[in-house]
Structure 1
């Protein structure tokens, strides 16, 4: 019985931290939005208006979101996504997961104790895409994997 009382006390202390509200970033230039995890601080809109970086103060964790043109007439979304994966490989990331489809692509990799996760989605008109990149330490994997899952589900274009 004492254990159960202690368990409820711990849950009561942890619950407010888990109940923090997620924010939202809306990009007017490309017409996409994404949820922003609690505690992440925006570093300011990029000069060209394609996205923004967010940092988690005191951590090596970062979230960067952006949009771009697909070049769908010439190469297409899948070719562009595969080129991005190739670039990450060239940068030394050991790609451990990858899926590329005509409308979205996701991949992740590791390098030097860090994890990279990228997601790209084709936007409604087919000529642009939205993307995010999350980088965090492998030590934070247990707490960050659910954050990445929510980010994947929240990245959307305005149709």
Structure 2
């Protein structure tokens, strides 16, 4: 398990360096309510927002306009990865467009644009009845910087 974290830490730091900056060791957040865990460079996402009253997750902001949310929700509708993606693709909300989606047995990934920002979302559908999510949103002008970070951050999403 320790080796996995070391490899992940290396991937995040390498991605950060490739994107034009050197960052300190990544930060790992674990949500106490749902056991959702994700790892990210805390030199990028520096502004931790107040935790919501329901304790379902946490949001961080960057100084350049990006945001990251790591959270969990109860899967009260028994949603599946394919069902989630189908519902999101059918969403006709103005300013929301899915440009990429992929599903696996217990996960789904979406990316696209929402209100002029690029977003990337990964969801894990746990056997424990919890959906764990990481959501990263950033301005299109910063695409190269954040595209280099998104994969490593999304891959770090897990149940604690």
Offset from partner CA, 1:44-75 (integer Å, 9 cap, x none): 22210100110002x2211112100113xx54
Distance 1:122 1:63 in 2: 19
Distance 2:29 2:65 in 1: 21
Tell me the SS of whatever aligns to 1:45.
coil
Q: 1:56 aligns with which of 58, 62, 85?
A: 62
Larger Cα Rg: Structure 1 or Structure 2? 1
Distance 1:21 1:85 in 2: 36
User: Superposed, which structure 2 residues align to 1:11-50 within 5 Å?
Assistant: 17-37=21-41, 38-40=43-45, 41-50=47-56
Distance 1:70 1:85 in 2: 19
In the superposition, the TM-score normalised over structure 1's length comes to 0.76
Contact 1:106 1:118 in 2 (8 A): yes
Compute the RMSD of aligned alpha carbons. 2.4
Tell me the SS of whatever aligns to 1:110.
strand
How many angstroms does 1:91 deviate by? 4.2
Residues 28 and 91 (structure 1), Cα distance of their counterparts in 2 relative to 1, 3 Å cut: farther
Distance 2:157 2:115 in 1: 28
Other-structure match for 2:126: 123
Contact 2:49 2:59 in 1 (8 A): yes
Count of matched residue pairs: 140
User: Superposed, which structure 2 residues align to 1:3-152 within 5 Å?
Assistant: 17-37=21-41, 38-40=43-45, 41-57=47-63, 59-71=64-76, 74-78=77-81, 79-87=83-91, 89-111=92-114, 113-125=116-128, 127-152=129-154
How many angstroms does 1:114 deviate by? 2.1
Contact 2:95 2:114 in 1 (8 A): yes
Stretches of structure 2 that go unaligned for 5 or more consecutive residues are 1-16
If asked which structure has higher relative contact order (CA below 8 Å, sep 6+), I would say: 2
Contact 2:95 2:115 in 1 (8 A): no
